[in-house]
Amino acid sequence: MSVGEWLRSIGLGQYETAFQENEIDSAVLRELTAEDLTALGVNLVGHRRKLLAAIAALRGTPASANAPALSPTKSTDAQRRQLTVTFVDLVGSTTLSGRLDPEDMSLVITAYQNTVAGVVTRFQGHVAKYMGDGILCYFGWPVAHEDDAERAARAGLAIMTGMSGLRTPAGEPMWARIGIATGLVVVGDLIGAGAAQEEAVVGETPNLAARLQGLAAPGQIILAHTTRRLIGNAFAVADIGGHSLKGIAGEVRAYAVTGERAAQSRFDARTAGAISAMVGRDQELASMLKRWNQAKGGQGQLVLLSGEAGIGKSRVMRAMIDAVAREPHVQVSYQCSPYHTDSPLYPAIQQLTFAAGFRPDDGSDEKLDRLEAMVHVEQGERALLGALLGLDAEARYGKFKLTPQQQRVRTLEALVSHLMALALDRPVLFVVEDAHWIDATTLDLIDLCLERVASARVMMLVTARPNFRHEFGGHAIVTKLALNRLGRGQVRTIIDGVTGGKTLPDALVDLIAAKTDGVPLFVEEITKTVLESGAMKETDSAFELTGPLSHLAIPSTLHDSLMARLDRLQPVKEVAQTAACIGRDFDFQLLRSVSPLDDVSLKEALERLVQAELIFRSGVPPDDAYVFKHALVRDAAYENLLRTKRQAIHVKLVEALAAKDVAPELLAHHASMAGMTEKACRYWLIAGERAAARSANKEAISHLNAGTNLIRGMPDTQEKLRLELDLHSALVPPLMAIHGYSSEAAGVVSSRAVDLGRRIGDPVELAAVLWQAWLFNFTRANHGVATSIAREIEQRMQHADDPAALIVAHVPLGLSLIALGKPVEARLQLEQATRTYRELKGGQIVLRYGMEVGAVGHAYEAWCLGILGFPERALKGRSDTLEIVEKVRHPYTSARGLYWCAVISAIHGEWRTTLHFADRAVKAADEHGFAMAGAVARVMRGAARAVLHPSAHAIAEMREGLDFNRKVGARTQLPFMLTLFAEALLATRDVDGGLVALQEASAVVQETGEQHVAPEIHRLRAKLNIECRRGDPHQDYRLALRAARSQGARLFELRAALDLTEWLREHGRVPEARKLLAEVYGGFTEGFGTLYLKNAKALLDSLSCDNNAGT
């Protein structure tokens, strides 16, 4: 490797001429001092320090012909990173070594190694190991570049070109084979000692590259699929199918590189197939089109379109090109290259070559002919352009009589003349892409063009990253447009474009938006990675998650670019990595507590990161805080650390944060990352319980799931079992609040909790998880199982030391007995629960049970009292329930408690009050995302609206709530809600619909044994049959009376008696009617001011008048 190549590899190629003029070779280079560098013209302190550091790294390397290639300084710390590995093999070396003298063979190997090393270093790769006829090379370490896979492929082609000029001592051609693969590795650990010391790479990628090399024919380059994907459309490749390779699991898809594709722009080279739609850049495009119209009128323009990598500059440029495509014009495209920042006029040379249509088999004369046909300038300028393209122009046009400086100036003028000549014929769109990589001479050309285009039909469109700072002479015709990040809505539009219009879960869209910071390329690549992750199931209209996806991996297509940003800050990169362990946001005080640097060094490092715009700063010392500019850069810095080093930093963070008043989930996260499993689980439990206590149920589920997933790796000790029980027990209530009591997820977790509770044997703990299992089965109308569990709870809790346990002991059995149509027995259980609650003077029993159990007891006791014929006490129970709800201010208890108040009001015919409570319940449920609570509240609200103001809207609302219950398998109280639905349908004259609803209610009662509304099913069937003149209403009414009496349900008996009395009266059976109603009415001892008893009294008085009139 030459000294010039070495200078370019460390970014200081501008000093190549000075080093050459002073005859600095590789041997002298190692001895240079700071004074020497000053004498060579290296006057910038930063450049001198950079050179001295790189020279220091060379001093241990012998300056001989067989010395390894000069390389940039590299760290010896092991790192995790994506690496593109190239394995080069000299074909036939074994045969050659048998035929050649060892000294001749040494010369062959040296020539081969120097060729490979020179090319690899030119593309800023790293020669890691010489293995005789094999050479192992890395692209992406010790310094990453955004296009390492491309660099490896280009280097491969250049190696083959270099090998074509090599010959053995006998004049035979020399060939190489190359395999290239990309993947995640651990790289940088030093193994061995002394001269045998080398940097080890651990991972499958080096082996894969070596195996792919074995597939290659002489002179062929074979790529792995991962590398093929990264190079995009920049190279021509041939798919050579799948192969089974030794030591590599599964079939490996391989591709042969056949050459580099000709492309006018880097964007075209990287884009395979259709490009995505432009999103959120309409204003910028409109501004450019305005400038284009001015240019067409003879007012030349220059537009500088700037923005960070991936922000969409090339996409906007392509939109501009497409927008003017149908207009008569000429497009001239200059593509600047990261490989040719020191190659004068490289973009111009490539453009002329592309536009002239040179063919590989053209000779110099043919190329000159094509050039002459394409450019419209005078002969002397044609000669200069021919010379620029490396053609033998002197043979045709004569020898130049110009100094090198004069030839340079005249060549620039010739290029401008060519541009102006084009503009005379048609307007010119002159595109200069990626000007942050522009060489100095091409930049001079742009400035020269700018001076000439003010009155020409030329628009210059220059794209560049923010680090390109050039004022273009302050010309008034220059417009600067900066592309900003996209908003959430625009991010969603890009996601929809990638998914083909199919929706992703909202939570996943939010996660993608948070990770990608509105950078279009990031959005596209992250979305593609998610779709290809195997965690998504595609349906006709959406992609659905098949499991949890809490972490979005960095796409391989972005990995090199992100690492390149970090590697450019090598001296302070470790500070960025330490900060990344804290998170995207961090403050100085916390960082200093875990960083090994002193305050001064740490502040200097942070200042460098701020200046490089890797992080942003807010606040003033000592309270300064920082945030990574991009979430993905933070992720790349974090993932670059070895797991052991990450864990050590997280341990320090746990120790530092434990002394502060911080959220437990933050401690849990760092403890998890530190491998402190038990401590992390305890923090997750605390975090989940705190979230559940304020009804932040989604957050609670997330925290507790983190704990349950983590604890699986702990050994089965008694402490582990108890902690696991606590986590599962705490998880059930928020699952039920969000997804409903009957959710499968809640059932699975509660079943595990019961199993753990039985293994531990604590009666109070077991009763608590049995409550959850009871609630799951009760809601799904598994009444046999639920009642059995309820009786076990009662038995276990009777002997508990905690008085509050007595409340829990009686409520489940009370509710199960209500469902089975045994309100008398249920009342005894619920009275004991509410009596104990009052003796304890209230108090919350929320966390373990998901709601205030005292409110549950009071609500269902009120239901029992109402059904049993004690309306005043029932309505008092409603008031007590409401008082508890308003006292505890627990969101889920509020949503459920307001629903129960609505139910108690409805069974007493207080429909306006029902509407009031149901409406409040719907709002409370919706506010906190309680889907099931909202569904049943909507049924009650729709029922009230249907009775008060019959409408299709009311029916639709009820139907929505019922459909949700069916969907989630919530069948308890479904018969009751169906009777309300039938009554609402009757109010809207949909008799057939009402009968269908009752038919479903009867089927559920028959299947589940849920008898408590059987009287209402019979009563309403009679009323519907009367409307449609079907069946035997009298028989249905008698069945209703019989069912109500068997349960002791005097309220249902009264309602059936009222309806039957009206029917008997209409059929002339007044004495029978009066006797029936009088007997039922006489059984009541209170509530004579409530609706149904008032109606009964009025009807009895009316029947007495009828009877007197009849006699």
The pLDDT of residue 99 is: 81
Q: What percent of the chain has pLDDT over 90?
A: 53
Q: What pLDDT is stored for residue 557 in this prediction? A: 76
Is the pLDDT at 228 greater than 70? The verdict is yes
Interatomic CA distance for residues 656 and 593, integer angstroms:
7
Least confident of 285-289, 399-403, 481-485: 399-403
Whether the CB-CB separation of 543 and 504 falls below 8 Å is answered with yes
DSSP category for residue 217: P
Mean local confidence (pLDDT), 63-86: 60
pLDDT of residue 702: 92
Q: Rounded mean pLDDT of 67-90?
A: 70
The CATH number assigned to the domain with range 891-1012 reads 1.25.40.10
392: helix, coil or strand? coil
Give pairs for 652-659: CB < 8 Å, separation 24+: 652/593, 652/594, 653/581, 653/582, 653/590, 653/594, 654/679, 656/590, 656/593, 656/594, 657/590
329-353: average pLDDT: 90
Mean pLDDT of 746-766: 89
Using pLDDT thresholds of 50, 70 and 90, give the confidence band for residue 269. low
Q: Which residues pair with 138 in a beta bridge?
A: 85, 126
User: Residue 70 pLDDT > 60, yes or no?
Assistant: no
Q: Is the pLDDT of residue 540 over 70?
A: yes
CA distance 767 to 813: 13
In 163-232, the DSSP E strands lie at 176-191, 198-202, 221-224
Q: What is the mean pLDDT of the chain?
A: 87
Q: Which element (helix H / strand E) includes 542?
A: none
Encode pLDDT of 1063-1098 as tens digits.
999 999 999 999 999 999 999 999 999 999 999 999
SS3 at position 467:
coil
State pLDDT tens for residues 232-243.
888 999 999 999
pLDDT in tens, 594-646: 999 999 999 999 999 998 888 999 888 778 899 998 888 888 888 888 889 99
CATH class given for the domain over 663-759:
mainly alpha
pLDDT-derived band at 63 (thresholds 50, 70, 90) equals very low
What pLDDT, on the 0 to 100 scale, is given for residue 623?
Answer: 81
pLDDT tens for 34-57 read: 667 876 778 675 677 678 767 766
Residue 570's pLDDT is: 73
pLDDT of residue 71 exceeding 50 = no
Q: What's the pLDDT at 864?
A: 97
Banded pLDDT at 161 (limits 50, 70, 90): very high
pTM (predicted TM-score): 0.70
What band does 196 get if pLDDT is binned at 50, 70 and 90?
very low
* Mean of pLDDT values over 576-604: 92
pLDDT tens digit sequence for 464-506? 998 888 988 788 899 999 999 888 888 888 888 888 888 888 8
Q: Which residue has the higher pLDDT, 134 or 531?
A: 134
pLDDT digits (tens, 9 = 90+) for 875-902: 999 999 999 999 988 898 999 999 999 9
Q: Are 220 and 176 in contact (CB under 8 A)?
A: no
Please determine, for residue 75, whether its predicted confidence score (pLDDT) is greater than 60. no
Query: For residue 682, what pLDDT is reported?
Result: 96
Is residue 249 left, alpha or beta, with left meaning phi > 0 and alpha meaning psi from -120 to 50? beta
Q: What gap in Å lies between CA 260 and CA 244, rounded to an integer?
A: 28
* Residues 959-1013 pLDDT 10s: 999 999 999 899 999 999 999 999 999 999 999 999 999 999 999 999 999 999 9
One CATH from 3.40.30.10, 3.30.1380.10, 3.90.1150.10, 1.10.10.10 for 556-661: 1.10.10.10
Banded model confidence at residue 848, pLDDT cuts 50, 70, 90: low
The pLDDT of residue 189 = 58
Rounded Cα–Cα distance for residues 857 and 865 (Å):
12
Distances (CA, A) of 207 to 15, 535, 560: 39, 29, 21
**pLDDT value for 67:** 36
pLDDT of residue 847: 44
- The string of pLDDT tens digits covering residues 1016-1025 is 999 999 999 9
281-482 has which fold? Rossmann fold (3.40.50)
Comparing 47-61, 424-438, 686-700, 845-859, the range with the smallest average pLDDT is 47-61
Tell me what pLDDT residue 192 has: 44
- Partners of 462 in the beta sheet? 304, 432
Q: Which CATH architecture has domain 74-275?
A: 2-Layer Sandwich (3.30)
What does the pLDDT average to over 783-805? 84
pLDDT of residue 201: 83
Instruction: Please identify, in words, the CATH class of the domain defined by 762-889.
Output: mainly alpha
pLDDT of residue 1109: 57
Cα dihedral sign, 963-966-972-978: positive
Asked if 955 and 987 count as a contact pair (C-beta separation under 8 A), the reply is: no
When pLDDT is cut at 50, 70 and 90, the band that residue 270 belongs to is low
- What pLDDT, on a 0 to 100 scale, did the predictor assign at position 60? 40
What percent of the chain has pLDDT above 70? 93
Kindly report which listed range (177-181, 259-263, 278-282, 582-586) carries the lowest average pLDDT score: 259-263
Fold type of domain 1-71: DNA polymerase; domain 1 (1.10.150)
Q: Does 844 score more than 60 pLDDT?
A: no
Mean pLDDT of 513-519: 85
